[in-house]
Amino acid sequence: MATRRKTSSVPLQSCRSAVDAAVYRSLPPFPRTDDDLRPAVHLAALYQSAFVPTGPQQQVQQEMNSKIQEVTSALMIPNVLIILGTIGVCGCLLISGIGVFGKQPRGRTLLLKVFLIAMILECFRIALYVFTQLEMLPIMEEYMPKMMSQAGSKGPPGEVFGTMMRVMTLIGLGLWVAWGLAKIGLYAWGRSYLKKPLVINYYNASQDSTTVY
Protein backbone atom coordinates (compact mmCIF):
# COMPACT_ATOMS: atom_id res chain seq x y z
CA MET A 1 0.00 0.00 0.00
CA ALA A 2 2.81 2.44 0.89
CA THR A 3 4.57 1.67 -2.40
CA ARG A 4 1.45 2.44 -4.42
CA ARG A 5 0.95 5.77 -2.67
CA LYS A 6 4.57 6.71 -3.29
CA THR A 7 4.51 5.90 -6.99
CA SER A 8 1.09 7.53 -7.53
CA SER A 9 2.36 10.85 -6.18
CA VAL A 10 5.17 11.07 -8.76
CA PRO A 11 2.94 12.03 -11.73
CA LEU A 12 1.20 14.64 -9.57
CA GLN A 13 4.52 16.21 -8.60
CA SER A 14 5.67 16.24 -12.20
CA CYS A 15 2.44 17.96 -13.26
CA ARG A 16 2.92 20.61 -10.62
CA SER A 17 6.49 21.17 -11.75
CA ALA A 18 5.35 21.54 -15.35
CA VAL A 19 2.69 24.07 -14.36
CA ASP A 20 5.18 26.05 -12.27
CA ALA A 21 7.63 26.10 -15.15
CA ALA A 22 4.95 27.32 -17.56
CA VAL A 23 3.91 30.10 -15.19
CA TYR A 24 7.55 31.11 -14.66
CA ARG A 25 8.13 31.30 -18.43
CA SER A 26 5.03 33.49 -18.86
CA LEU A 27 6.32 36.11 -16.38
CA PRO A 28 8.21 39.15 -17.73
CA PRO A 29 12.00 38.92 -17.42
CA PHE A 30 13.42 40.37 -14.23
CA PRO A 31 16.21 42.96 -14.79
CA ARG A 32 19.51 41.28 -14.05
CA THR A 33 22.14 43.41 -15.83
CA ASP A 34 23.25 47.02 -15.53
CA ASP A 35 21.61 47.84 -18.87
CA ASP A 36 18.28 46.55 -17.59
CA LEU A 37 18.57 48.59 -14.38
CA ARG A 38 19.59 51.81 -16.14
CA PRO A 39 15.98 53.03 -16.86
CA ALA A 40 15.01 52.50 -13.22
CA VAL A 41 18.07 54.42 -12.02
CA HIS A 42 17.26 57.25 -14.44
CA LEU A 43 13.65 57.36 -13.22
CA ALA A 44 14.82 57.53 -9.60
CA ALA A 45 17.13 60.41 -10.46
CA LEU A 46 14.30 62.30 -12.12
CA TYR A 47 12.09 61.71 -9.09
CA GLN A 48 14.82 62.98 -6.77
CA SER A 49 15.41 66.11 -8.86
CA ALA A 50 11.69 66.88 -8.97
CA PHE A 51 10.79 66.30 -5.32
CA VAL A 52 14.15 66.71 -3.56
CA PRO A 53 15.68 69.77 -5.22
CA THR A 54 19.26 70.79 -4.54
CA GLY A 55 21.37 73.89 -5.09
CA PRO A 56 19.66 77.02 -6.50
CA GLN A 57 16.44 75.07 -7.01
CA GLN A 58 16.34 74.23 -3.31
CA GLN A 59 16.78 77.89 -2.40
CA VAL A 60 13.89 78.89 -4.67
CA GLN A 61 11.68 76.23 -3.15
CA GLN A 62 12.53 77.38 0.37
CA GLU A 63 11.54 80.92 -0.52
CA MET A 64 8.27 79.67 -2.01
CA ASN A 65 7.52 77.52 1.04
CA SER A 66 8.19 80.42 3.40
CA LYS A 67 5.72 82.64 1.57
CA ILE A 68 3.11 79.88 1.50
CA GLN A 69 3.71 79.37 5.23
CA GLU A 70 3.00 83.06 5.81
CA VAL A 71 -0.36 82.74 4.07
CA THR A 72 -1.36 79.59 5.96
CA SER A 73 -0.21 81.04 9.30
CA ALA A 74 -2.28 84.18 8.76
CA LEU A 75 -5.38 82.05 8.09
CA MET A 76 -4.77 79.46 10.81
CA ILE A 77 -7.43 80.75 13.23
CA PRO A 78 -10.28 80.75 10.65
CA ASN A 79 -9.29 77.26 9.54
CA VAL A 80 -9.28 75.96 13.12
CA LEU A 81 -12.68 77.56 13.78
CA ILE A 82 -14.13 75.94 10.67
CA ILE A 83 -12.72 72.55 11.70
CA LEU A 84 -14.23 72.86 15.17
CA GLY A 85 -17.52 73.99 13.66
CA THR A 86 -17.51 71.00 11.32
CA ILE A 87 -16.95 68.62 14.23
CA GLY A 88 -19.84 70.22 16.12
CA VAL A 89 -22.14 70.04 13.10
CA CYS A 90 -21.30 66.37 12.56
CA GLY A 91 -22.12 65.59 16.18
CA CYS A 92 -25.41 67.48 16.02
CA LEU A 93 -26.29 65.75 12.75
CA LEU A 94 -25.76 62.39 14.41
CA ILE A 95 -27.90 63.29 17.43
CA SER A 96 -30.69 64.84 15.37
CA GLY A 97 -30.60 61.95 12.91
CA ILE A 98 -31.13 59.47 15.73
CA GLY A 99 -34.06 61.59 16.95
CA VAL A 100 -35.59 61.74 13.47
CA PHE A 101 -35.38 57.99 12.98
CA GLY A 102 -36.86 57.62 16.46
CA LYS A 103 -39.89 59.67 15.34
CA GLN A 104 -39.16 62.40 17.88
CA PRO A 105 -40.40 65.92 17.03
CA ARG A 106 -37.40 67.39 18.85
CA GLY A 107 -35.12 65.52 16.46
CA ARG A 108 -36.84 67.13 13.49
CA THR A 109 -36.59 70.60 15.06
CA LEU A 110 -32.91 70.11 15.86
CA LEU A 111 -32.17 68.83 12.36
CA LEU A 112 -33.76 71.96 10.85
CA LYS A 113 -31.41 74.14 12.91
CA VAL A 114 -28.38 72.00 12.17
CA PHE A 115 -29.06 72.18 8.42
CA LEU A 116 -29.16 75.97 8.63
CA ILE A 117 -25.91 76.12 10.59
CA ALA A 118 -24.29 73.71 8.13
CA MET A 119 -25.28 75.92 5.20
CA ILE A 120 -23.73 78.98 6.84
CA LEU A 121 -20.59 77.04 7.76
CA GLU A 122 -20.25 75.74 4.21
CA CYS A 123 -20.45 79.29 2.85
CA PHE A 124 -17.59 80.35 5.13
CA ARG A 125 -15.61 77.25 4.14
CA ILE A 126 -15.95 78.01 0.43
CA ALA A 127 -15.02 81.66 0.92
CA LEU A 128 -11.95 80.78 2.99
CA TYR A 129 -10.75 78.14 0.53
CA VAL A 130 -11.17 80.45 -2.46
CA PHE A 131 -9.37 83.27 -0.64
CA THR A 132 -6.50 80.97 0.36
CA GLN A 133 -6.00 79.64 -3.15
CA LEU A 134 -6.12 83.10 -4.69
CA GLU A 135 -3.49 84.24 -2.21
CA MET A 136 -1.24 81.28 -3.05
CA LEU A 137 -1.71 81.45 -6.81
CA PRO A 138 0.63 84.44 -7.41
CA ILE A 139 3.29 82.72 -5.29
CA MET A 140 3.06 79.54 -7.33
CA GLU A 141 3.08 81.47 -10.59
CA GLU A 142 6.22 83.31 -9.49
CA TYR A 143 8.31 80.48 -8.12
CA MET A 144 7.34 77.35 -10.04
CA PRO A 145 8.79 78.59 -13.37
CA LYS A 146 11.97 79.55 -11.51
CA MET A 147 12.25 76.07 -10.07
CA MET A 148 11.82 74.54 -13.51
CA SER A 149 14.46 76.80 -15.04
CA GLN A 150 16.89 76.08 -12.21
CA ALA A 151 16.34 72.34 -12.68
CA GLY A 152 17.02 72.61 -16.41
CA SER A 153 13.65 71.10 -17.28
CA LYS A 154 12.79 70.61 -20.93
CA GLY A 155 9.12 71.33 -20.25
CA PRO A 156 7.14 74.41 -21.29
CA PRO A 157 8.58 77.92 -20.78
CA GLY A 158 7.98 79.80 -17.55
CA GLU A 159 5.17 81.96 -18.93
CA VAL A 160 3.34 78.97 -20.36
CA PHE A 161 3.80 77.02 -17.16
CA GLY A 162 2.45 79.96 -15.13
CA THR A 163 -0.63 80.06 -17.34
CA MET A 164 -1.08 76.31 -16.90
CA MET A 165 -0.85 76.71 -13.11
CA ARG A 166 -3.50 79.44 -13.16
CA VAL A 167 -5.86 77.39 -15.32
CA MET A 168 -5.43 74.27 -13.17
CA THR A 169 -5.98 76.28 -9.98
CA LEU A 170 -9.11 77.92 -11.34
CA ILE A 171 -10.46 74.53 -12.44
CA GLY A 172 -9.83 73.17 -8.96
CA LEU A 173 -11.55 76.19 -7.43
CA GLY A 174 -14.54 75.68 -9.70
CA LEU A 175 -14.86 72.04 -8.70
CA TRP A 176 -14.54 72.92 -5.00
CA VAL A 177 -17.17 75.64 -5.23
CA ALA A 178 -19.48 73.33 -7.18
CA TRP A 179 -19.15 70.64 -4.52
CA GLY A 180 -19.79 73.17 -1.75
CA LEU A 181 -22.87 74.50 -3.51
CA ALA A 182 -24.12 70.95 -3.99
CA LYS A 183 -23.88 70.37 -0.24
CA ILE A 184 -25.66 73.65 0.46
CA GLY A 185 -28.40 72.64 -1.95
CA LEU A 186 -28.74 69.29 -0.20
CA TYR A 187 -29.09 70.99 3.17
CA ALA A 188 -31.68 73.40 1.75
CA TRP A 189 -33.64 70.50 0.26
CA GLY A 190 -33.57 68.74 3.62
CA ARG A 191 -34.94 71.82 5.36
CA SER A 192 -37.72 72.22 2.82
CA TYR A 193 -38.63 68.55 3.15
CA LEU A 194 -38.78 68.67 6.94
CA LYS A 195 -41.03 71.74 6.73
CA LYS A 196 -43.69 69.98 4.66
CA PRO A 197 -47.08 69.70 6.40
CA LEU A 198 -47.11 65.96 5.81
CA VAL A 199 -43.82 65.53 7.69
CA ILE A 200 -44.94 67.84 10.50
CA ASN A 201 -48.20 65.94 10.92
CA TYR A 202 -46.30 62.66 10.91
CA TYR A 203 -44.14 63.66 13.85
CA ASN A 204 -47.03 65.28 15.70
CA ALA A 205 -49.08 62.11 15.30
CA SER A 206 -46.20 59.98 16.55
CA GLN A 207 -45.89 62.24 19.59
CA ASP A 208 -49.63 62.03 20.29
CA SER A 209 -49.59 58.23 20.03
CA THR A 210 -46.63 58.07 22.41
CA THR A 211 -48.44 60.34 24.87
CA VAL A 212 -51.62 58.23 24.75
CA TYR A 213 -49.75 55.01 25.47
Counting Cα atoms < 13 Å in the Cβ hemisphere of 182 gives 6
Query: Which amino acid is located at 2 in the chain?
Result: A
Report, in angstroms and rounded to the nearest whole number, the Rg of the chain calculated over CA atoms.
Answer: 31
Cβ-contact 203, 105 below 8 angstroms: yes
- List the chain pLDDT tens, one digit each, 213 residues: 444 444 444 454 555 555 555 544 554 554 545 555 455 544 455 445 545 555 566 777 788 888 888 988 999 999 999 999 999 999 999 999 999 988 888 989 999 999 999 999 999 999 999 999 889 888 887 777 777 666 555 555 556 666 777 888 889 899 999 999 999 999 999 999 999 999 888 888 876 555 433
For residue 152, what are the contacts with CB-CB under 8 A and spacing of at least 6? none
Cβ-contact 149, 158 below 8 angstroms: yes
Q: What is the C-alpha to C-alpha distance for residues 108 and 114, in angstroms, rounded to an integer?
A: 10
Kindly tell me the sign of the dihedral angle through the C-alpha atoms of 182, 188, 190, 193.
Answer: negative
What's the start-to-end Cα distance of the chain, in Å? 78
Kindly tell me the sign of the dihedral angle through the C-alpha atoms of 17, 19, 21, 23.
Answer: negative
